Every structure is written in structure tokens, then in C-alpha cells.
Amino acid sequence: MNPASLGSLLGLIVYLLQIQLPTILSDSLYTIANLNTPLAMILLGSYVAQSKLMDVFTHPRAYWTTFLSLILSPLISIFVLWLLPLDNYLVFFVLAIASSAPIAVNTALFSQLYGGDYEYGARLVVLSTLLSIISMPMVLQIAEFAFSMN
């Protein structure tokens, strides 16, 4: 039982019971939710600023991790989705996009939180984001082919 679990449970209860929150509370929560991405990018930018930018491209292990995340994992996910009886094109592609997304900023956050190499985590996020410009269209073409074969 931690604050994140309790908040998730409370949100699930509010959603399932369709409880209408007061406007001031729902607007406040909506504003906080809109800060999610900008705060993550600010934090990632501070991590990257503390390291050398060329280090992003000089670690072979980072390329292997990025390959696993951007190519192999999405291909396995698409294969598993292909095996399922999904008739909805939109559901199939939402899941394919989610599986081919770059490494999340949480990689760097958890690395710092638990005493790991957060600069390496930040470099992974940057490298995977840059390489996803190439990998994501390729993976989605494969997903489109797989869906058409279904």
C-alpha cells in the first residue's frame, strides 16, 4: 500500500462508479495531468545536460538495448497480436504503436531513485527516441501487413 497504488485504486473506483467530481477538483486534476509530459521532458533534459551528448552514440550496449526495445519486442508483440482473434484494425494498431514506442523517461527516473546509472538511462531514452523515427514506421508497416494477413 503506497500513495501510487491508493491513488490508482481511488481513480478506478471513481471511474467504475461514474462519480462526478466537483468542477474545481476535476479541473485541478486535469491541469496536473497536463503537466505529465512537460515535467518528464524537463527532467530528461536536465539528465542529458549533465552528460556528454556524444556518449549517447558511443555505447554498443545501448544500441543492443534499443534494438530489443524498438525492434524485437514490437515484432514479438505483433506476432502475438496476430495470433489473437482481433477484428478491430484500430485496437490492433494502438497496441502495435504502444509496443513500438521509445524507451520511457521512467528508465532514467528509476535509475536515479534506486542508485543506478541514471545518465545511461537518459542516454537510452534519447537514443531510442531518435532511432524510433526510423524503426516505428517500419514496425507499423509490418503490423499493417500482419493485420491484412489476419
Question: Tell me: the pLDDT tens digits for 45-68?
Answer: 887 787 777 888 888 899 999 999
pLDDT at res. 4: 84
Question: Please, how many CA atoms are within 13 Å of residue 107, restricted to the half-sphere of its CB?
Answer: 21
Mean confidence (pLDDT) of the chain: 89
Question: Tell me: the pLDDT tens digits for 124-142?
Answer: 888 998 899 999 999 999 9
- Position 100 confidence tier, pLDDT thresholds 50, 70, 90: very high
Dist CA 30 CA 135 (whole Å)? 32
Please determine, for residue 75, whether its predicted confidence score (pLDDT) is greater than 90. Answer: yes
